[in-house]
């Protein structure tokens, strides 16, 4: 016997898994991953270790016959023939700069949009998600380090050009393509060309990024984006330097550009014990978000679990995450969520006026939507900001 839940057919076993998960703690969180994540094999004949497909890069200047300067991200790498960019995904040859990850993703999945996380954008739908090898950060806690901290010659890649990404998204009935997992900015040309094709075909584009992009490419990309979730990893340059090898000011500038260009924007902050869990800094960050992006910008505080190079730390206490949410709400943010704590009531969306749940969630599962076709609370008629149809 099959049950139809969220427009998905599932077996009795899967249904029982969801029921168990909905009342469980963090210990059984992999169950929801098993239920909703779908791996996609692009083309077995083209899959292979170290498969590379190149295209001339955008946003660089030629310095001499063998040297260029990349202007895609704030690192502005100066590179000569034989050198690889900090992102591991770009290199020059003969005075030209090339992307090594154009159309050769190393990860292709169908995910719930809630996994990105996006909570105010087409809830209970799926996103066709792609990523290539490489990243322009070195986060010590990266959960995808097996692909983000390697070059494309060191990963198993498929050949999937932009038109195929759009075709696959349609074949899996995904209304959105998500550029995610690693840092999408490092496969900028691939992402941009895919987004252009998708937009023509009525498919939405979603960007999950560390936000480290120079203003000009950020402006161009934003013309083709429908939504973005930016990881605001901390609120001091010291944290960005020591833990991520990144630049806070560049991230804040990207957030402003996305907001200005009317891309639906949500923010994720992974709260890490002893590193970025200072409540004063969290308060400063929330005030900045309210003043620069608006009080209706959804913010996701996510619980850190030890991994990669930070296995010496302990998991973030749930009380710390809940205190961060209290601070954000007190600072005037209307939609603040708790992530990586399955079953927490702050996974759901509440109406700021009547305080009733308008979207009930457990993990990535949407259990109930109490919004009308215009995105207003069915209880009191208050309009909930977001993209609902």
Rg (CA), the chain: 21
Strand partners, 359: 349, 369
Instruction: Indicate whether 241 pLDDT > 60.
Output: yes
User: Does 191 lie in the same domain as 83?
Assistant: no
Q: 238-259 burial by CB neighbour count: b if 16+ within 10 A, else e? A: ebbeebbbbbbebbbbbbebbb
One domain, residues 57 and 33: no
Same-domain check for residues 81 and 112: no
Specify whether 216 is located in the same domain as 252: yes
Residues 94 and 162 in one domain: no
In a shared domain, residues 150 and 284: yes
Residue 382 included in any domain: no
pLDDT in tens, 252-279: 999 999 999 999 999 999 999 999 999 9
Of 59, 84, 99, which residue is a domain's last? Answer: 99
In the block, residue with structure tokens 């190149």: 54
Does pLDDT of 46 surpass 70? Answer: no
Please provide residue 105's backbone torsions phi and psi, each rounded to the nearest 5 degrees.
-70, 150
Give the DSSP H/E element, type plus range, for residue 311: none
Contact 375, 384 (CB under 8 A): yes
Residues 171 and 279 in one domain: yes
Residue 50 confidence (pLDDT): 87
What share of residues in the chain are helix, strand, coil (percent, to 5)?
30, 25, 45
Mean pLDDT of the chain: 90
Helices and strands in the chain: count of H runs, count of E runs: 10, 22
CA-nearest of 100, 109, 103, 120 to 41 is 109
Strands 67-70 and 107-112: unpaired
Helices within 201-267 (DSSP H only):
215-222, 237-239, 248-260
pTM of the model: 0.89
Which residue reads 């941009």 in tokens? 192
Is there a contact between 38 and 10 (Cβ–Cβ < 8 Å)?
no
Q: Is the model's pLDDT at 47 over the cut of 90?
A: no
Q: Say what the pLDDT of residue 77 is.
A: 98
Determine contact, residues 120/371, Cβ cutoff 8 Å.
Answer: no
β partners of residue 337: 300
Mean pLDDT of the region 74-89: 97
Residue 357 phi/psi, 5-degree rounding, is: -70, 125
State the number of CA atoms in the 13 A half-sphere of 253 facing the CB: 14
- In 3D space, the residue among 362, 349, 299, 364 whose CA is nearest the CA of residue 124 turns out to be 364
How confident is residue 174, by pLDDT bands cut at 50, 70 and 90?
very high
Domain shared by 294 and 251, yes or no: yes
- Supply the range of the domain harboring residue 94: 50-99
Average pLDDT rounded to a whole number, residues 115-121: 97
pLDDT digits (tens, 9 = 90+) for 288-308: 999 999 999 999 999 999 999
CA 363 → CA 82, 346, 367, distances in Å? 45, 11, 10
207: left (phi over 0), alpha (psi -120 to 50) or beta: beta
Pair 60, 164 in one domain = no
Q: Which residue in 51, 85, 52 sits closest to 71, CA to CA?
A: 85
Task: State yes or no: pLDDT of 2 exceeds 70.
Answer: no
pLDDT of residue 35: 40
- Which has the closest alpha carbon to 322: 297, 352, 353, 347? 347
- The CATH code of the domain that includes 212 is 3.20.20.70
CB neighbours (10 Å) of residue 366? 21
Range in 9-13, 70-74, 228-232 with the lowest mean pLDDT = 9-13
Domains held by the chain: number: 2
Let me know whether 76 and 119 are in one domain: no
- In this model, does residue 13 exceed pLDDT 50? no
- Given pLDDT bands bounded at 50, 70 and 90, which one contains residue 48? confident
Q: Across residues 307-333, what is the average pLDDT? A: 98
First to last CA, the chain: 31
> Is 374 a member of any domain?
no
In a domain, 377, yes or no: no
Q: What is the pLDDT of residues 185-207, one digit of tens each?
A: 999 999 999 999 999 999 999 99
Residue 20 has pLDDT above 90, yes or no: no
Q: Both 287 and 183 in a single domain?
A: yes
362 part of a folded domain: yes
285 domain-assigned: yes
The pLDDT of residue 342 is: 92
Average pLDDT (130-153) is: 97
Q: Which residue has the tokens 């749940």?
A: 357
Q: Using pLDDT thresholds of 50, 70 and 90, give the confidence band for residue 163.
A: very high
CA–CA distance, 103 with 100 (Å, rounded to integer): 9
Comparing CA positions, the residue from 185, 176, 182, 181 lying closest to residue 206 is 176
**Rounded to 10 degrees, what is the CA torsion of 316, 317, 320, 326?**
110
Residues facing 49 on adjacent strands:
156
94 with 114, same domain: the answer is no
Give the residue from 166, 146, 28, 114 showing the smallest Cα distance to 298.
114
Q: What are phi and psi of 247, to 5 degrees?
A: -130, 115
pLDDT tens digits, residue range 340-377?
999 999 999 999 999 999 999 999 999 999 999 899 99
């Amino acid at each position: 016997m099959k049950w139809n839940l969220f427009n998905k057919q599932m077996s009795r076993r899967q249904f029982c898994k969801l029921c168990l998960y909905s009342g469980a703690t963090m210990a059984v969180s992999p169950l929801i991953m098993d239920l909703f994540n779908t791996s996609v094999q692009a083309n077995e004949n083209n899959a292979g270790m170290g498969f590379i497909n190149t295209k001339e890069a955008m946003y660089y200047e030629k310095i001499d016959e063998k040297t260029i300067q990349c202007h895609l991200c704030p690192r502005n790498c100066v590179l000569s023939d034989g050198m690889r960019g900090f992102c591991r995904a770009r290199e020059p040859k003969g005075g030209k700069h090339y992307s090594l990850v154009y159309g050769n993703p190393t990860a292709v999945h169908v995910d719930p949009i809630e996994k990105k996380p996006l909570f105010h954008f087409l809830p209970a739908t799926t996103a066709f998600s792609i990523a290539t090898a490489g990243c322009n950060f070195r986060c010590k806690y990266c959960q995808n380090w097996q692909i983000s901290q390697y070059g494309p010659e060191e990963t198993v890649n498929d050949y999937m050009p932009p038109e195929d990404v759009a075709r696959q998204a349609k074949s899996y009935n995904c209304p959105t393509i998500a550029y995610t997992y690693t840092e999408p900015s490092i496969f900028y040309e691939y992402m941009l060309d895919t987004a252009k094709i998708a937009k023509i075909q009525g498919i939405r584009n979603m960007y999950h990024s560390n936000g480290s992009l120079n203003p000009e490419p950020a402006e161009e990309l934003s013309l083709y984006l429908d939504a973005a979730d930016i990881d605001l990893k901390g609120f001091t340059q010291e944290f960005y330097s020591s833990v991520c090898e990144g630049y806070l000011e560049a991230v804040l500038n990207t957030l402003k550009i996305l907001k200005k260009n009317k891309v639906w924007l949500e923010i994720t902050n992974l709260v890490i014990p002893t590193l970025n869990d200072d409540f004063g800094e969290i308060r400063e960050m929330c005030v900045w978000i309210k003043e620069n992006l608006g009080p209706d910008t959804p913010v996701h505080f996510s619980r850190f679990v030890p991994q990669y190079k930070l296995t010496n730390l302990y998991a973030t206490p749930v009380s710390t995450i809940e205190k961060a949410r209290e601070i954000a709400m007190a600072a005037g943010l209307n939609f603040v969520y708790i992530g990586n704590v399955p079953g927490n009531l702050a996974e759901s969306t509440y109406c700021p006026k009547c305080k009733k749940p308008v979207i009930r969630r457990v993990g990535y599962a949407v259990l109930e939507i109490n919004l009308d076709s215009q995105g207003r609370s069915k209880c009191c008629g208050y309009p909930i900001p977001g993209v609902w149809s």
